Amino acid sequence: MSEPQRAEWDERHRGKHAGDAEPFLTAMLPRIPRGVVLDVAAGRGRNALALAHSGTRVVAVDYSAEAMRLLAATARDARLAIWPMVSNLDSFHLKDESFDAIVNINFLDRALFPKLERALRPGGVLLADTFLIDQAALGHPRDPRFLLGHGELRALAGGLEVEEYREGPVVYPNGERAFRASMLARRKKSN
C-alpha cells in the first residue's frame, strides 16, 4: 500500500470507537485456544478486544497507524494484553508455529493463507470470515479481488481441518445484511 492509501485508512479510523466484534468470532470464542492470537488487519480492534476480554494475548496488526494508536489507548485503559503493530501485511513476517490462533476478518489476501497456516502452532486454529461474491449486489465491497467465490474459503484452508464452515446471507443485530463465508479450521497436532 502507498502512503496516500495509508492516509486514507488513517482518516477512516480517526475519532471512531472499536465497535462490536464480528458475530461469527463471538460465537467461536469458546473454541479459540487461550494463548497468543494474531488479529490480521485488526482496524480499531473490535475483534482484538473481544479476544483479549476472553483471556487471550493478542498481537493486532494493521496498516493504519491511527487505528493502532486508538487500539493501544483502549487496551492500555482496560489493562488488556494487546500488542498493536503497524505493518504492511504484504511484507509482515510470520514465524512458523508462533500463534495459537489467527483471526482474519474482512481482509482478503489469498496469498496470505499458506503463511497463516504455517504460523499456527499444532492444534492452533484459523478463524476466517469475509464477504462472498454475492455481496457485490448489496454494496461494499464490490471489487471481486476482495470477494470470495462459493467454496473458496474452504479451499484456502489448505491442510487445515475445517471444524465449522458457513456460507450465505447474514443479518446483523442492527438489521444490516451481508453475504459472508465463515470458517474455523484447526492445524493438526504433531504426532
* % of the chain surpassing 90 pLDDT: 75
CB atoms under 10 Å from CB of 174, counted, come to 6
Q: Per-residue pLDDT averaged across 23-37, rounded?
A: 97
**Predicted local distance difference test score (pLDDT) of residue 13:** 45
> What residues pair up with 101 in beta bridges, in sequence order?
37, 125
Which domains, from first to last, does the chain contain?
3-186 (3.40.50.150)
pLDDT tens string 44-85 = 899 999 999 999 999 999 999 899 999 999 999 999 999 999
* % of the chain surpassing 70 pLDDT: 90
Displacement of CA 101 from its chain's centroid (Å):
11
Has residue 9 got a pLDDT over 60? no
Residue with cell 514465524: 95
Helix (H) or strand (E) holding 70: helix 65-78
Helix (H) or strand (E) holding 8: helix 3-13
- What is the pTM for the complete model shown? 0.90
Amino acid, single-letter form, for residue 136: A
CA angle (48 as vertex; 43, 53 as ends), nearest 5: 150
Would you give the end-to-end CA distance of the chain in angstroms?
40
How sure is the predictor about 154, in pLDDT bands with cuts at 50, 70 and 90? very high
Sign, CA dihedral 38-41-46-47, equals negative
Q: Are strands 161-171 and 177-186 parallel, antiparallel or unpaired?
A: antiparallel
Comparing C-alpha atoms, which of 131, 26, 41 is closest to residue 85? 41
